[in-house]
Structure 1
Amino acid sequence: MRPGLLMAAVCSIYLLASVVSFLSYALDKSAAKSGRWRTRESTLHLLALVGGWPGALLAQQVLRHKTRKRSFQVLFWTTTLFNCLVLCWLWYRLG
């Protein structure tokens, strides 16, 4: 795969996953305020893992959501680090 095409594909995946992630946090915050059905934390972590962590991080800061729960933050940063390591490894392997 050409480097330019690879970069475009990765950027597209991260952008899409980040938008979905941000919206998921917003829906979960709204549900938490109104006592409705919540988004599973595992879903939020999965979105971060597949590249949505920039949108998740933005949502956490803008919406002030999931920032104080230590266990959530530990797993969030673990998935973010893992995602970045895999991206670096792929980048290295594919040129």
Structure 2
Amino acid sequence: MTMMLAIFVVMNIAGLFIMGVDKKRARKHQYRIRERTLWLVALFGGAIGTTAGMQIYRHKTKHTSFKVGFPVLAIVELVLFIKILL
């Protein structure tokens, strides 16, 4: 149970971090993090972090798939996580 909580926290911190890094790279016209990678981090437990990063950094907010997909995935992950804990 503790390990699962740790993984959940780490993946969400990673999601928040990579959204910030990708936004910074976008501003500097540098090599970007692939959208596939952003989705994989969200899918494997980092959806809350990627959703927060999207809002904090105003990144990928014009892409409907991110704008809708990340929050929906975050809700699903949160519900699953709570069900597992209880």
The two structures share one fold, judged by TM-score above 0.5: yes
Aligned to 1:37: 31
1:40-80 alpha-carbon deviations (Å, 9 max, x no partner): 01101100111111111111111111112113334435644
The structural deviation recorded for 1:82 is: 5.7
SS state at 1:31 partner: helix
Partner of 2:70 in structure 1?
76
- Does structure 2 conserve the Cα–Cα contact (< 8 Å) formed by 1:47 and 1:53? yes
Gap regions ≥5 residues in structure 1: 1-5
CA contact (8 A) 1:45 1:79 kept: no
Which structure has the greater CA radius of gyration? 1
Equivalent residue for 1:20? 14
| TM-score, normalised relative to structure 1 | 0.72
Identity of aligned residues (%): 28
2:55 is equivalent to residue 50 of structure 1: no
Query: Cα gap change, 1:60/1:80 in structure 2, threshold over 3 Å: closer, same or farther?
Result: same
- Cα drift, residue 20 of structure 1: 1.1
* TM-score normalised to structure 2 length: 0.79
In structure 2, what residue type is equivalent to 1:30? K
> Kindly tell me: are residues 60 and 17 of structure 1, through their superposed partners in 2, closer, same or farther at Cα, counting changes over 3 Å?
same
Measured on the aligned residues, the alpha-carbon RMSD in Å equals 2.1
CA distance in 2 between counterparts of 1:56 and 1:50 reads 11
Unaligned 5+ segments in structure 2 are none
**Matching residue's letter, 2:27:** K
Q: How many residues align?
A: 86
Once residues 54 and 85 of structure 1 are traced to their aligned partners in structure 2, the CA distance between those partners, rounded to angstroms, is 12
